[in-house]
Chains A and B, each alone.
Chain A
Amino acid sequence: GAGVSQSPRYKVTKRGQDVALRCDPISGHVSLYWYRQALGQGPEFLTYFNYEAQQDKSGLPNDRFSAERPEGSISTLTIQRTEQRDSAMYRCASGGYGETQYFGPGTRLLVL
């Protein structure tokens, strides 16, 4: 079956612009996670959804970052007023009940 998909795969934006990154999880998966991965590092947790409820947003670095999953399926991570330090690979992962997470290919964000 289809895996986790993310779009766009690449995003180049200018400092100060807002960006929206989309995640389409595996069908039926109740859990959805967002991670950020810097070059040469492992992914770092940003936020977690259980169905449509955002249960944990402790990893969001500041209030410019927000996420939603209004119907318990597709999720959007929004970064407002982007800064150069926001440049990274943003990864989405989904899972059923339990610990196993399946990662998408990521969106590489470059803020100029």
Chain B
Amino acid sequence: QQQVKQSPQSLIVQKGGISIINCAYENTAFDYFPWYQQFPGKGPALLIAIRPDVSEKKEGRFTISFNKSAKQFSLHIMDSQPGDSATYFCAASTDSGAGSYQLTFGKGTKLSVIP
């Protein structure tokens, strides 16, 4: 059972455009929703995260929009740059006990920003 569904699988955006990646979750116990950015040969790096008590969080060119009732959240990358080309993973977690916040990941979106 895939608890976090991510789309699209791949995305091509022109430089300066807006990249949008969507995720949907099933487990209503999730209370922490991070996005990770992964470059080839590297581990996932935390990009931005949100909790369900807010509907939007912005950090620079990156914005998370969160819809608790629809159990959906999305990442918007404004003014996309070629350096943003990477694989993006959404994830979700909750305290599973004893301080464990195991992450449940989506399958990833490969973003290519073309000049």
CB within 8 Å of B: which residues of A? 4, 30-31, 33, 35, 40-45, 48, 50, 53, 55-56, 59, 91, 93, 95, 97-106
Contacts and interface: CB of A to CB of B under 8 A. Distances in A.
A42 B41 CA distance: 14
A107 B104 CA distance: 20
A61 B100 CA distance: 18
Contacts of A100: 34, 46, 49
Interface residues of B, number: 28
A59 B96 CA distance: 12
Interface in B70-115: 89, 91, 93, 96-108
Q: Which 7 A-B pairs have the closest CB atoms?
A: A42-B105, A103-B43, A55-B98, A45-B102, A99-B101, A48-B100, A99-B32
B44 interface: yes
B42 A56 contact: no
Nearest to B45: A103
Most buried by A among B49, B93, B97, B100: B100
A13 B101 CA distance: 32
A35 B93 CA distance: 14
B74 to A, nearest CB: 16
Contacts of A31: 99-101
